[in-house]
Structure 1
Amino acid sequence: MPDEMFVKVRQHLTQLSRVMNTIDATRLLIGLLYLSRASRVASDPGVPTWSWLLSQPAGRGPEIRAAVTKCLVHHLPAIEDPAAEAGAVSLVPVPPPGSEKSLRALIQAIGSTQQVGTLLDQCLRDLSAAQADGSNYFTPEDMARLMVGAAVPHDRHRVLDPACGSGGLLVESHCYVRERVGLNPTMSLRGRELHAPTSQVARMNLSVRGIEADILPPGDSLAQPEPEPYDIVLANPSLNQRDWTQEEGTQQHGSRPGPPVPLDPRWPEETPPRSSADSAWIQHIAHALAPAGRAVFLMADRVAASRQAVPKRLRERLLRIDLVECVIALPLRVYGHSQAPACLWVINKDKSARPGWGALDRRGQVLFINARRAFEQVPQSRARRLGDKNTALILSTLAAWRGLPEDGAAATPYSDTVGWSRSCSVKEIADREYSLMPTSYAVEPPGPERDTRNRIDQLKLELTEQFDRMRALELRLLDALEEI
């Protein structure tokens, strides 16, 4: 799309946001993009199409608003909202009075271009920023490339994102494989999103790009185990989830009295407490993997380093069954709008040498990458991003450790790099109380700056653990009050 056209669309969206809230205005623009690709031909007389919408006569009355609403109601993917009463909430963003001029300008602008990918990407970034306060942000493009590159999906793989947001990780998986096979992949892509409006955005995002995927009805993925195994699981669950619950009829949390219920196969040793959604997510993801499957997901630092009993026992079990392949310490503020420090985890059901996934047998070993300082500033902004260079550096390190050739060349020999990466045995990790914090293994060279950062990181971890204890006590108190 020409830069001039892109700027005009952004200006019209800004005008639209002055008469309706930013989230609805952005969803409306995404809906128009979807209409321009999904409703070009009428299936039968009387069905409103994109061509019909473009041909609507000029005017400043309500006609254009009514025409847009008619098209959206007919063509937008139908999503059942389990959180709303029947008919109480519509997922169609309705343009209000005063939006006529902006609507007509947006329709004409979209209708004059064949390249909508750049505009769609910007819309998703805008929607992510607008929803950030509710922790419902989407995975940034460079983070999605890192996660998919670390997972190494292949054609015919079954790929799951149990917290799919706008579907960005599924889109990136499809693009990753298509670039390597040169044809349209024959993958099975599946996602689930808790929020109904976001689930609808995911369907539209994939449809506009011509990617077939199964976006399941909105719901909580943690409510029950996945019914079938997957070769690849990708996830960016909320880092600030205070608690989690199970549906009636599954295993209870803690030791509340009540009738016996069926055991949940996701937690063979202990049920995650209500205060530990992170523990539940990790075990849910691990259980969803096929016998030779691999998963890549984001987790807050506290899960890798906390000395509390629940996360420590979970790390011990993961290492005991040799599931952890790599942990990457990420820079702050590059994976969303949360300020919480986070790591990227890679778990693998089979770390032996396998064609296409690595020529080196890495059973009993874990790779740690300290990418805390691998970021770049976004131009004219205080925001940060990984950027292409840092993403490529992380992936090349992981590929070398696996013995995986890149771009058809021979695999690069791996060696530990001070302050960047280190390969450790499970025994060494066990000797360090099962800590999976990369900054404890790939340690930067001594110096005043490093010592200051280490002390700050330690204080942050201690404060986070205190907050975790407070949340756990709060939930226990609420449970006790319910039983009175």
Structure 2
Amino acid sequence: MNELEQQFLHQLESKLWNAADKLRATLDAAQYKHAVLGLIFVKYVSDAFSMRQDEIKAELADPEHEYYLDPDGLSADELAAEIAAELEQRDYYTEQNVFWLPPESRWSFLQNNAPLAIGSVELTIAGKPKKITSVGHLIDTALEGIERDNPKLKGVLNKTYSALRIDQAKLVELINLIATIPFNHKTLNSKDILGHVYEYFLGQFALSEGKKGGQFYTPASIVTLIVEMIEPFEGRVYDPAMGSGGFFVQSEKFIERHAGQHAVDPLTQKQKISIYGQEYNHTTWQLAAMNMAIRGLDYDFGKEPASTYTHDQHPDLRADFIMANPPFNMREWNVGVDENDPRWKYGTPPAGNANFAWLQHMLSHLAPNGSQALLLANGSMSSTTNNEGEIRKNLVTNDLVECMVALPGQLFTNTQIPACIWFLTNNKGARTDKANRKLRDRKGEVLFIDARNLGYMKDRVLRDFTTEDIAKVADVFHAWKTGEAVNGVSYEDQAGFCKSATLEEITKHDFVLTPGRYVGAADEADDGMPFAEKMASLTDKLSEQFAESAKLEAEIKKNLAGLGYGI
């Protein structure tokens, strides 16, 4: 992305958030998030519809095009009527993967009639008169029309605007604000703009909602790091705690970046990745579905929002890639779960912490050559309480753990709990993976990466990774897996950063998987001063500091005595 494109997006996000922030005083962040993102979705699909309409008009006027409408023998009014009729042909839109919108769902209709609906107004909807009682009712009617005429969106859109306790005039302001989002740009396509707006708003809302909101949002740089390491080029991709679907979006972007083409096979016109997800929260489940729909991605999120523990929506799935950021250290997760559940192959997780329940649930869905990555709290790497140490031991001795990455603090909007990434695989043997890399035999080895010193503070509270940080970790991981140089990087142990350890070494550390135990401290630069001379210098400096401390203490006592305080 060039500088002008970045500037355009930054100006857009600043304008949107500053204006939107003024409008949300009457709603909490969770409600406002869905109100804003739902309207942004309507604006996007409506703009896409309008752009396709313009294309059709041009095709109807082009004698070289198969859709050419010959004006011979037609009056101006008849020609205009013919064109208007052609523009309402659904097939023209669906053949280009553009959502068909009935008149009441188009943005111009919504924006023009919103001020009239503040009180009450009768409008023609689906060819019949209908009384619209509020602006919220008008928006819900637009969403109902989109769902009715696009079966893949059935049950996906959040039609609750009528129930929002918000000044209807404020809702009109919100519509007028979102109307200013330009989904057309000289070099950026509309999906890129929409995706950026969605990701930006999700991040800002996660900050506003605090812990509760952030559990559904994984910072983009962490998602990108995991995707770059696990490399989901093609196959079945699964996220059992999918939130808004960030891992799926980044998987598509990964394919586009590395394969030089869209995530659809140009020969078969089929998606290279099959997307499977599950989410418990109903509105977040809807948000994830919208996130896929706007990108034209097919997906299977199960029949309904449901608990991954008690109502697995994909019981027979064996995925090639599994990625997740489940809620950290979740308590009382096991209500309604059998202690002898077959998923607990490596040990029954404790009721007070779901970390190893998530991990083993994912393993139960992993294909024979599959790979999985999940974010967990740092405690998962060392805890020995309530069977956690035994589960971790079993995972190591069964040679499932491939790589452990320790992350820096302050990466998350919603928690200061230090986190790590677990990478596991069912097969460490030599083979060719989905990315067409020839992997060496890594049986009996685990790679430890300490990334705690990477990243930069993007503001006073949040740290982020640079593109170079992500590449540094990913390239080392792939060089270790292949035994060959990747992007000019050959693998070797680096003190303070990475270490390839054997199962014997891990056993000596009582199966604790904290990277710091294995990578050690970074080598300090040698200043050339002999040890004895350096020690003498440090001793002299320490003596000077002790003397200065004594001098200051005497001065303080003297001043206090002058004030009548004896010490």
TM-score range, shorter chain: 0.7 to 0.9
Equivalent position to 1:373, from 445, 453, 457: 453
Q: The residue matched to 2:467 in structure 1 has which SS?
A: helix
Q: Secondary structure at the match of 2:369?
A: strand
Compared CA separation, residues 152 and 142, structure 1 to 2 (3 A): same
Partner in structure 1 of residue 476 of structure 2? 397
Size of the aligned set, in residue pairs, is 425
Which amino acid is the alignment partner of residue 179 of structure 2? Q
Distance 1:37 1:215 in 2: 22
Match of 1:144 among 223, 243, 249: 223
| Structure 2 partner of 1:96 | 166
Give the structure 2 partner of residue 34 of structure 1.
Answer: 41
- TM-score, length of structure 1 as denominator length: 0.80
Shift of 1:326: 0.2
1:65/1:400 CA distance change after superposition, 3 Å: same
1:228 and 2:317 aligned: yes
Q: 1:119 to 1:309 in 2, by over 3 A?
A: closer
Query: What is the CA distance between 1:104 and its match in structure 2?
Result: 3.3
The residue number in structure 1 matching 2:126 is none
- Preserved contact between residue 140 and residue 161 of structure 2 (Cα < 8 Å): no
User: Is the 2:349–2:387 contact (alpha carbons within 8 Å) kept by the matching residues of 1?
Assistant: yes
Specify the alignment match of 2:53 in structure 1: none
- Structure 1 gap ranges (5+): 82-88, 253-262, 448-484
* Mapped contact 2:13–2:200 kept (Cα < 8 A): no
Counterpart in the other structure of 2:306 = 219
User: Per-residue deviation at 1:414?
Assistant: 0.9
Aligned to 1:188: 274
Counterpart-to-counterpart distance in 2, 1:406 and 1:136 = 37
Partner secondary structure for residue 110 of structure 1: coil
2:113 paired residue among 51, 56, 61: 56
Is 1:68 paired with 2:157? no
For residue 183 of structure 1, report the CA deviation from its aligned partner: 3.0
Does structure 1 residue 322 correspond to structure 2 residue 402? no
2:247 — aligned with what? 169
1:99-151 superposed Cα distances (whole Å, 9 cap, x missing partner): 14422322421366443232222111122223332252411110000111121
Query: Compared with structure 1, are the counterparts of its residues 284 and 171 closer, same or farther at alpha carbon in structure 2 (3 Å cutoff)?
Result: same
Alignment partners' CA distance in 2, 1:95 and 1:405: 60
Shift of 1:333: 1.9
Q: Which residues in structure 2 correspond to 1:406-421 (within 5 Å)?
A: 412-421=489-498
In the alignment, the residues of structure 2 paired with residue 74 and residue 271 of structure 1 have an alpha-carbon distance, to the nearest angstrom, of: 48
The answer on whether the counterparts of 2:332 and 2:353 sit within 8 Å (CA) in structure 1 is yes
Q: Residues 198 and 167 from structure 1, CA distance in 2 versus in 1: closer, same or farther, beyond 3 angstroms?
A: same
User: Is the radius of gyration larger for structure 1 or structure 2?
Assistant: 2
Asked if 1:21 is matched to 2:28, the reply is yes
**3-state secondary structure, aligned to 2:501:** strand
Query: How does the TM-score come out when normalised to structure 2?
Result: 0.69
Q: Name the stretch that deviates more: 338-347 or 45-54.
A: 45-54
Cα drift, residue 353 of structure 1: 2.3
State the SS of the aligned residue for 1:234. strand
Q: d(CA) in 2 for partners of 1:163 and 1:238?
A: 8
Deviation at 1:214, TM superposition (A): 1.9
Aligned residue for 1:244? 333
Query: Which of 495, 501, 520 does residue 443 from structure 1 map onto?
Result: 520
Residue 44 (structure 1) shift: 8.1
Quick one: which of 428, 442, 446 aligns to 1:351?
428
State the alpha-carbon separation in 1 of the partners of residues 461 and 102 from structure 2: 52
Tell me the equivalent position of 2:18.
11
CA contact (8 A) 2:281 2:306 kept: yes
Give the Å deviation of 1:7. Answer: 3.3
Structure-2 residue corresponding to 1:431: 508
Distance change in 2, residues 1:403/1:338 (3 Å): same
Deviations 1:38-65 (A, max 9, x none): 4547858665333422443756934644
CA RMSD, 1 decimal: 2.9
Change (3 A) 1:352 1:47: same
Higher relative contact order (CA 8 A, sep 6+): 1
Secondary structure of 2:387's partner?
helix
1:383-429: CA deviation from partner (whole Å, max 9, x where unpaired): 1112222111111111111127788x5x7321100000000001110
Q: Does 1:286 align with 2:363?
A: yes
CA deviation map 1:320-375 (0-9, x unaligned): 21100000010012144211111101001111222234432111100000111112
User: What's the % identity of the aligned pairs?
Assistant: 26
CA distance in 2, matches of 1:57, 1:92: 13
* C-alpha distance in structure 2 between counterparts of 1:296 and 1:364, whole Å: 19
Contact 1:171–1:211 (8 Å) recurs in 2 = no
- Give the 3 Å change call, closer, same or farther, for CA 350–371 of structure 1 in structure 2: same
Q: Find 2:195's aligned residue among 117, 134, 142.
A: 117
CA distance in structure 2 between the aligned counterparts of 1:10 and 1:362, rounded to whole angstroms: 48
Preserved CA contact (<8 Å) 2:137 2:162: no
Where 1:116 maps in the other structure, the secondary structure is helix
SS at match of 2:381: helix
Gaps of 5+ in 2: 1-7, 50-87, 91-99, 120-133, 148-152, 185-189, 265-271, 525-567
Deviations 1:64-121, CA, capped at 9 Å, x for gaps? 444223223444755599xxxxxxx958773722414422322421366443232222
Give the letter for the 2:37 counterpart: I
Q: Post-superposition shift, 1:180?
A: 2.5
Contact 1:54 1:111 in 2 (8 A): no
User: 2:205 — aligned with what?
Assistant: 127
CA contact (8 A) 2:449 2:499 kept: yes
Bigger shift: residues 319-328 or 39-48: 39-48
Q: For residues 216 and 347 of structure 2, what CA distance do their matches in structure 1 show?
A: 31
Distance 1:91 1:372, change over 3 A: farther
Distance of 2:403 and 2:162 partners within structure 1: 42
